[in-house]
Every structure is written in structure tokens, then in C-alpha cells.
Amino acid sequence: MTDKTALVVSAHSADFVWRCGGAIALHQKLGFQVTVVCLSYGERGESAKLWKQEGMTLDKVKAARRKEAENAAKALNAHDIQFFDLGDYPLEMDREAKYRLVDVIRKVRPSFMLSHSFDDPYNTDHPYASKMALECRMIAQAWGHNPGEKVLGAPQLYLFEPHQTEQCGWKPDTILDITEVWDQKRAAIECMEGQQHLWHYYGNVAENRGNQFRRNSGGQGGGREAKQAEAFQSIFPRTVDVL
């Protein structure tokens, strides 16, 4: 198994596509194995278009959302996608579900993790997912949890961009150029047929972040040309040899 791995903890089955699809595709291209965990399908709160169809049931919505997410993960060339099916609105994790995520974290041994902002008044499932990711990261580091297993190191947790940043206390400190994999992300976005109203929105977000990448990489004084980018907020100090 490669030591270049990453783990995405997504509250709902579409979140990873909008918010870090480019990071997934790019790191896969760089030789990483990226695993995506969808804690729920978003079947109750993020599937309005499906629920408007006559004869729709909860099981049918879940099946449709799973298929969309699987197709999107394939478009991004993700190494693995897992569905915990914990329900949404609200999303809740009991001890068993937490330990299930801990098992995934220890198995994947991610070089870094990705999840949601710590605040989102529009959707409390999102910060709940990131707090669970942080808690399970802590448990995975504990020598007393399932003694004898190899404990986790200290992977960075990056918080990906929420839908309305100004309401979520989210401040990006890392901007990733995803220009070379934008076509893959766009293809993944178009797999999410149940939320077609977001396709254009996240195209705009990527272009705006691309503009910020150009500015922060040197701007008119020689910044790198980037058409699309994604932004993240790191939680832990980063150890470097040079700035």
C-alpha cells in the first residue's frame, strides 16, 4: 500500500464533489490513494428535486444519491468511496459509528484529511461531520484504543469551502490549483443530477479561487496562471523547512 493517501469525510453524498473534487482528482493523478467516506446520502435534506418526482420513496432517493456519488467518484478517479448511511437532517453518530470511522482512518492512514468548516448555520450536518472527523482522528491516535493496532500519526485536517463562507467563520489559508483536473471535476459535478442548481455556482467558485491563486502566487509580478482552484483552511500548524 502506498504511503501517499488522503481521506475525505463528507457529511452528504454530494459534498465531496462541490468542495474538494479537484483536490481528489489532482492527488490521485499525483499518485495518492484518496478514500471518500459519505456519512449520509443527504436523502432528506439535499434531494428536493428527487422528492418532487411522483412515487418517490426514501429507499429510491438513497439509491439515486448513491449512484450519483459513485459516478462522481469514478469521474474523479477516487481510490475508494464508502457509504455509512447514517441519515441526515440531522446527521448523528453513535459510538459504534465513530469506531467504524476510526477503523477507516487507521486503515487508510491518511497523509491528510479533508472535511467541512466548523460552523455552518445553514446546515448543521456539515460542522457536525468535521467535528466527528476531528474526534475520530483523536481516537485513532490513542494507544489504548484497540491496543496492538498501529496508531495514527498526525495528519493535517483541511476544512473545505462552505457554501456561504461569510456566515461560517471559515478563513482559507491554502489555495490549490486544480486547472489540470477541472474537466474531471466538472464531469463529477454533472453527475449530481439531484442538485443541478449548484452546477453553475461551483463553477464560479472555482474560477474565483483561480483568480486568488494567481494573485497570491505572484500576481502581475509573475504569478502562476491558474484558471480554477479550491481553497482550504488548515487546522494544525504545518511543519516546514522553507517558507
Strands (E), the chain: 5-10, 33-38, 80-83, 112-115, 156-160, 174-177, 229-234
pTM confidence score: 0.96
In this prediction, residue 223 carries a pLDDT of 78
Q: 94: phi > 0 → left, psi -120 to 50 → alpha, else beta; which?
A: beta
Cell of 85: 448511511
Domain boundaries, the chain: 5-234
| pLDDT single digits (tens) 102-140 | 999 999 999 999 999 999 999 999 999 999 999 999 999
Task: Flag whether pLDDT at 42 surpasses 80.
Answer: yes
For 115, residues 6+ apart whose C-beta sits below 8 A from its C-beta are 8, 9, 10, 129, 130, 133, 134, 157, 158, 159, 160
In this prediction, residue 52 carries a pLDDT of 93
**Distance (Å) of CA 181 to CA 42, 177, 203:** 26, 9, 13
| pLDDT single digits (tens) 159-187 | 999 999 999 999 999 999 999 999 999 99
Cell of 100: 467504524
Rounded distance between C-alpha atoms, residue 233 and residue 157, angstroms: 8
For 71, residues 6+ apart whose C-beta sits below 8 A from its C-beta are 188, 191
Superfamily of domain 5-234: LmbE-like (3.40.50.10320)
Cell of 61: 432517493
